[in-house]
């Protein structure tokens, strides 16, 4: 099947379809593709290093889970960049890359990004306990509990996407424009309700909770670390051992986690604000112009022999679920 790029009708008042197409190719195919390849290689190295260090330390277990989730979120991104490559989608394919990319690329990416988000929150919480209750943290956060928590995060975040998957599915559909049967995305009658559930749970609640939780842990972490640093400086004159040897390893780990949390907070601000604004103004959500009135993709909408009509299709687009705005 040979397909053409989707219309940029949403942005027709800003740039033309041709300019929008160039922007998408440069951003998604070139920049995102190359960065994803680099991220995959880096996370593979991280996974090997953490695995060699063993699983006796709870921090190593959490960082290993974070590296795995990050790796799994980048692989779908590479698939998205491939599907949006003109040399790929203009070839004769047994599937429609524009419609299946959302289900096979964006959705898995969103799931593992959410997993990485909550593992980051757990790491920040663990380091916070190390500073607040250093004598009890080993009893509270054990390697066994850490493994169970990390696995639970994987399971819960994946389960939250089930309603969306029930409303969207892959199906073999006959395309009259190409006289061939192609694999494409179709939608159930309950799609709007199911996507609304996913949007509220995975998009609004999960995003906001993890964002606020990491901020709280980071603030407590920084405040307590500064107070303990002042205490160590005050005891430096009395004991060189106390000044130079106690808590040096913990301080390095705390600084690393603090830096990681700050980067997460800065990067999560736009997404969190966007989801909150979507709750106030639903019209802000991206709509799909390529869906037919029967709940199935309209193959003629973006076929080279037809003109894309921005008024065609359903008013509940593919991107309405929890993953709006987080594909990249």
The predicted structure's pLDDT at residue 41: 95
pLDDT digits (tens, 9 = 90+) for 82-95: 888 777 777 778 88
DSSP state of 169: E
Say which CATH architecture domain 9-320 belongs to. Up-down Bundle (1.20)
Least confident range from 24-33, 35-44, 232-241, 278-287: namely: 232-241
215-246 burial, b at 16+ Cβ within 10 Å, e below that, comes to: bebbebbbebbeebeeebeeeeeeeeeeeeee
What value does the mean pLDDT of the chain take? 77
Res 198 pLDDT > 90? no
Res 48 pLDDT > 90? yes
Q: Tell me the pLDDT band of 304, cut-offs 50, 70 and 90.
A: very low
| H or E element in which residue 173 lies | strand 168-175
The pLDDT > 70 percentage for the chain reads 75
Nearby residues of 111 by Cβ (< 8 Å), 6 or more positions away:
73, 157, 158, 161
What are the structure tokens assigned to 153, written together? 């995060």
pLDDT digits (tens, 9 = 90+) for 232-253: 667 665 554 444 444 566 667 6
In the chain, domain spans: 9-320
Phi, psi (5° rounding) for residue 172? -80, 120
The predicted structure's pLDDT at residue 112: 94
pLDDT digits (tens, 9 = 90+) for 97-153: 888 888 888 899 999 999 999 999 999 898 888 888 888 888 899 999 999 999 999
In the predicted model, what is the mean pLDDT of residues 182-186? Answer: 87
In the predicted model, what is the mean pLDDT of residues 60-74? Answer: 94
């Amino acid at each position: 099947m040979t397909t053409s790029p989707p219309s940029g009708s949403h942005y027709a008042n800003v740039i033309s379809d041709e300019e929008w197409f160039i922007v998408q190719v440069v951003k998604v195919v070139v920049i995102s593709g190359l960065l994803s390849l680099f991220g995959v290689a880096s996370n593979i190295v991280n996974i090997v290093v953490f695995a060699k260090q063993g699983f006796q330390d709870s921090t190593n277990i959490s960082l290993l889970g974070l590296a795995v989730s990050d790796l799994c979120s980048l692989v779908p991104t590479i698939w998205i960049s491939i599907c949006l490559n003109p040399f790929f989608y203009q070839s004769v394919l047994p599937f429609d890359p524009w419609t299946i990319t959302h289900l096979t690329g964006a959705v898995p990416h969103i799931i593992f990004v959410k997993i990485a988000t909550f593992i980051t929150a757990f790491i920040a919480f663990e380091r916070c306990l190390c500073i607040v209750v250093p004598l009890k943290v080993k009893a509270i956060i054990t390697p066994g509990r850490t493994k169970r928590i990390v696995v639970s995060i994987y399971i819960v975040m994946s389960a939250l996407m089930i309603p969306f998957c029930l409303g969207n599915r892959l199906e073999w559909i006959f395309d009259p424009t190409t006289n061939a049967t192609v694999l494409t995305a179709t939608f159930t009658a309950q799609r709007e309700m199911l996507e609304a559930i996913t949007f509220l749970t995975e998009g609004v609640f999960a995003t906001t909770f993890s964002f606020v939780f990491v901020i709280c842990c980071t603030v407590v972490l920084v405040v307590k670390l500064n107070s303990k640093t002042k205490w160590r400086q005050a005891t430096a004159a009395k004991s060189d051992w106390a000044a130079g040897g106690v808590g040096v390893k913990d301080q390095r780990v705390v600084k690393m986690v603090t830096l990681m949390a700050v980067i997460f907070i800065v990067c999560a601000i736009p997404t969190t604000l966007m989801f909150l604004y979507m709750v106030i103004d639903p019209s802000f959500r991206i709509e799909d112009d390529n869906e037919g009135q029967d709940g199935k993709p309209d193959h003629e909408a973006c076929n080279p022999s037809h003109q894309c009509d921005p008024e065609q299709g359903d008013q509940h687009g593919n991107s309405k679920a929890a993953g709006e705005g987080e594909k990249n």
